[in-house]
Amino acid sequence: MVISDSLQTFEDSERYLAPDERTRLQLASPAEIRKLRIFTEQWTRVQVPLRAYLASFLGNSIAVDDGVQEVALVVWNKGPWEVEPPAFLGYTLACARRVALASRRRQNDGRMKFLSPEVASALADTVAVQEQQEANWTAERFDALRTCLKGLPASQRELLEARYSAKSAAELSSHAERTGAKMDCLYKKLERLREILRICVNRRQAQQQ
């Protein structure tokens, strides 16, 4: 019985997973693998709106990372992972709102700089509405962004990588030291690079359509 269960698991996972993952997955039940597969698809779709939503309230990338972590645990444990993607997004963002408000309460020591509660809330709602209306961060749009990034000169890509690394402040400082640039100049460059990339992505998408 145990062997046949394992084989069933093996066959069920075969369509989705590389061969070297089979051994590991024999430890999980078919129901768990199914949940993992569906949850992964759902989670992949909501990551961008979730980050943007949390950033509306928190405005600090480390706090946003922590928020994503907290939301993931709640959604994995209690979330309706089998529902349609819009419902999953709605549930995730509802969790995110509670997590973000709790995080603001914990961190509000008078020196933390947030947008006012009503503005943060309106901004987060706008993120949610845009996501539900447009849903434009599709796989194709990500592909376009990757292509645009590859088209940048190495120095500009390096700057973006420094900014968006896990230790962005330290990485940016060391980038400034290495290149002899002032931090203000680097931030201006970042602003321009984001604009260039935005235009590039929109153009590529328009060409595809």
- Give the footprint of other proteins on residues 164-203 (CB under 8 A): 164-167, 169-170, 187, 190-191, 194-195, 197-198, 202
Tokens representing 89? 């997004």
Closest CA to 78 of 67, 88, 86, 65: 88
Q: 44: number of CA atoms within 13 Å, CB side?
A: 9
Q: Does 106 bind other proteins (CB under 8 A)?
A: yes
R_g of the chain computed on alpha carbons = 21
Q: Does 161 bind other proteins (CB under 8 A)?
A: yes
Binding to other proteins, residues 43-62 (CB under 8 A): 43-44, 47-52, 55-56, 59-62
For residues 155 and 175, give the distance between their C-alpha atoms in angstroms, rounded to a whole number: 10
For residues 101 and 140, give the distance between their C-alpha atoms in angstroms, rounded to a whole number: 33
Binding to other proteins, residues 118-137 (CB under 8 A): 118-119, 122-123, 126-127, 130-131, 137
Q: Does 146 bind other proteins (CB under 8 A)?
A: yes
Q: Looking at 1, 3, 23, 113, which residue binds other proteins (CB under 8 A)?
A: 113
Q: Looking at 21, 29, 31, 208, which residue binds other proteins (CB under 8 A)?
A: 21
